[in-house]
Structure 1
Amino acid sequence: MSEVPAAAKKAGFPFGLTIAVAISFVILCGLGGWQIQRMAWKEDLLARIETLKTASPTPIGPVLAEAARGGNVAWTRVQVDCRPLNLPALPLAYGVRDGDMVWRAQALCGLTGGPYDLILIDRGVVPALTGQVKAPERRFGEPGQVTGILIPLAQLGGDRARAVTGLAGQKPAPLALMAERETPAPADIVPAPLPAEISNRHLEYALTWFGLAVTLLFIYAAMLWRRLRP
């Protein structure tokens, strides 16, 4: 019985490779589309921050009422007069700012006459503790009148959000107030409500993912041509 020479054998269609390429292509395009969505979100965020430069503070009550109705009130400048709360003080929170390890002071602000009982206030950075791996226990006075910027509570990180939402018998606002100014001003705290720089490179990232998807198709087409050509 004669054997068919290897050169004469015709390779079959690579179904497995085709499925793998198709899945990879969809994933790459999905990542590119996600970056486009992130770009739109970042542009809206930067526009809101630009508006903040000239915006006057609004009383927090109506703003939180709008939030309770499902409105988007993030990145709104508000003012609140905090009432004292009979709750344990919050510890310092770890953070990174301008590439340095920092510790941020935080406190609970009691609210009256609205849908929520309290809101978390990020009071700013404690400069004396910059770079320390473990911060000593520090206590500051209760917040009084605070002017600042609302951001989603979840944006501060899961641990900080859970510490507030887990308070028994309380109805915390789903937002945090990043303090810009307090009266009276707490000693040893520097307000740091916003990142020093917010980049928007999502278009670049999207083009990278789409470029990888197109490159994958060219490589697959070249391999398929070499495999199936006579």
Structure 2
Amino acid sequence: MTEERSGMSHLRLAVSAVLTLGALAVLIGLGTWQLQRLWWKEDLIARVEARVTAPPEALPPAAAWPTLTSDGIEFRRVAFEATYLHDREVHVYIALTQPRGPIGGQGYFVVTPARLADGRIVFVNRGFVPLDRKDPATRAEGQVAGERTIVGLMRPPEPSSWITPAPDIARNVWFTRDPKEMAEASALDPATVAPFTVDAEAGEAPGGLPQGGETVLSFPNSHLSYVITWYGLALALVAVVGSVLLRRRKAPR
């Protein structure tokens, strides 16, 4: 019986050791993953800050458009000359909770195709308008005519997901910004449309609408707290197991 109890005790100890090492490996793995995410997020924030404050550069040439990547263009500051096609503006629904300008809440980003000198098209997010100013007639002052100098930040297409509502083309209400889809709905040749959009800077529209400069630049960074949590749990597990083993060693036999 003594040998049987001893065998069972060793088996329980071995199972406990395996489970403990497994839990420790998971906790350390999660902490290390969050540490890597922290480094990635800090690099992203630094890269975006450098791009949005850099002097504006020219648009990429049309020949380079097929090779552009999201990381390569995201938040790059550009300046170019173009003429707005106001009769084909697109309205993208948004709830602007932290506006930089005086107006926020529910409304739309006004995304307007802008024709370059060579005839190609760049969709420009001119800024935010509240729900009751969706109709361009309510903000006629901002429907500027002729060639304009547009300064803003490049944005890659926004992919839709299974939870994203489909655009209501009849009412001209959209939920993502995809240049190809917007071109087709606006009777524009997708082959002539840039595979990116540009968020115009503040002050672009006379009268204040659309309210430019509303690019969302929020990058929550809670990874350090997660690193501390997971590594802290791993350390606590080691301390608990160490305490148990120490008591077992001191226990009378």
Aligned twin of 1:72: 72
Contact kept, 8 Å, 2:91 with 2:134, in 1: the verdict is no
1:181-192 alignment, distance < 5 Å: 181=202, 183-185=204-206, 187-192=208-213
Aligned twin of 1:148: 152
Q: Which moved more, 1:27-36 or 1:206-215?
A: 27-36
- Rounded to whole Å, the distance in 1 between the matches of 2:135 and 2:13 is 67
Contact kept, 8 Å, 1:148 with 1:193, in 2: the verdict is no
Alpha-carbon shift at residue 206 of structure 1 (Å):
1.8
Aligned partner letter, 2:67? A
CA 148–26 in structure 1, closer or farther in 2 if over 3 Å, else same: farther
Q: Aligned pair count? A: 216
Structure 1 length normalisation: TM-score?
0.63
Aligned twin of 1:208: 229
Aligned partner letter, 1:212? L
Alpha-carbon shift at residue 40 of structure 1 (Å):
2.5
Aligned twin of 1:218: 239
1:1-230 alignment, distance < 5 Å: 11=9, 12-13=11-12, 17-52=16-51, 54-62=53-61, 65=64, 68-70=67-69, 72-80=72-80, 81-82=82-83, 84=85, 87=88, 89-97=90-98, 101-110=105-114, 118-119=122-123, 121-126=124-129, 129=130, 135-136=131-132, 138-140=134-136, 145-154=149-158, 158=161, 159=164, 160-161=175-176, 164=179, 166-167=181-182, 168=184, 170=190, 175-181=196-202, 183-185=204-206, 187-195=208-216, 200-223=221-244
Which structure 1 segments of 5+ residues have no match?
Answer: 130-134
Structure 2 counterpart SS, 1:57: coil
Alpha-carbon shift at residue 198 of structure 1 (Å):
5.3
- Rounded to whole Å, the distance in 2 between the matches of 1:200 and 1:216 is 26
Give RMSD over aligned pairs: 4.5
Which structure 2 segments of 5+ residues have no match?
Answer: 137-141, 165-174
Aligned twin of 2:139: none
CA 123–183 in structure 1, closer or farther in 2 if over 3 Å, else same: closer
Contact kept, 8 Å, 1:152 with 1:175, in 2: the verdict is yes
Aligned twin of 1:132: none
Contact kept, 8 Å, 1:180 with 1:191, in 2: the verdict is yes
Deviations 1:69-103 (A, max 9, x none): 446122211124255387573243224317x7453
CA 139–15 in structure 1, closer or farther in 2 if over 3 Å, else same: farther
- Rounded to whole Å, the distance in 2 between the matches of 1:101 and 1:186 is 19
Alpha-carbon shift at residue 37 of structure 1 (Å):
2.8
Contact kept, 8 Å, 1:83 with 1:110, in 2: the verdict is yes
Aligned partner letter, 2:154? L
Structure 2 length normalisation: TM-score?
0.59
CA 8–226 in structure 1, closer or farther in 2 if over 3 Å, else same: farther
Structure number with the higher helix fraction is 2
